[in-house]
Amino acid sequence: ILNVEQSPQSLHVQEGDSTNFTCSFPSSNFYALHWYRWETAKSPEALFVMTLNGDEKKKGRISATLNTKEGYSYLYIKGSQPEDSATYLCAFDSYQTGANNLFFGTGTRLTVIP
């Protein structure tokens, strides 16, 4: 089993604050790193798929960076809004384990206080 860790486990921020969280994954056999947003009682929603070292992705106020050599990715949210409240999951995709077999972290639960 490949170990994927996310920190912090949970986070409370005020509306308008910027925040970031970390995903750590094995630095060998890297294939891709996926970020998902999961709101309560809904389906996990794909945010980004990152494949190249140094990759940066952006979607509105959310962006992500990737360092495959040291095995980490950061997710940033600029100017947090209450609707950003969700659990953010990262998932590691490895050459070793074949297609569509993602290893998920336990997530960072973000609460944005109005």
Partner 1 sequence: KAGVTQTPRYLIKTRGQQVTLSCSPISGHRSVSWYQQTPGQGLQFLFEYFSETQRNKGNFPGRFSGRQFSNSRSEMNVSTLELGDSALYLCASSLGQGESLVETQYFGPGTRLLVL
Question: Which residues of this chain interact with partner 1, rule CB under 8 A?
Answer: 1, 4, 31-32, 34, 36, 41-46, 49, 51, 89, 91, 93, 97-107
How far apart are CB 54 and partner 1 at their closest, in Å? Answer: 16
Alpha helices (H) in the chain, listed in sequence order: none
Q: Compare residues 41 and 114 and give the one whose CB is closer to partner 1.
A: 41
CA–CA gap between residue 72 and residue 55 (Å, rounded): 12
Residue 7 tokens read as: 């920190």
Q: Compare residues 51 and 111 and give the one whose CB is closer to partner 1.
A: 51
How far apart are CB 24 and partner 1 at their closest, in Å? Answer: 13
**Cα–Cα distances in Å, from 54 out to 27, 64, 72, 91, 109?**
13, 10, 11, 17, 25
Q: Compare residues 19 and 105 and give the one whose CB is closer to partner 1.
A: 105
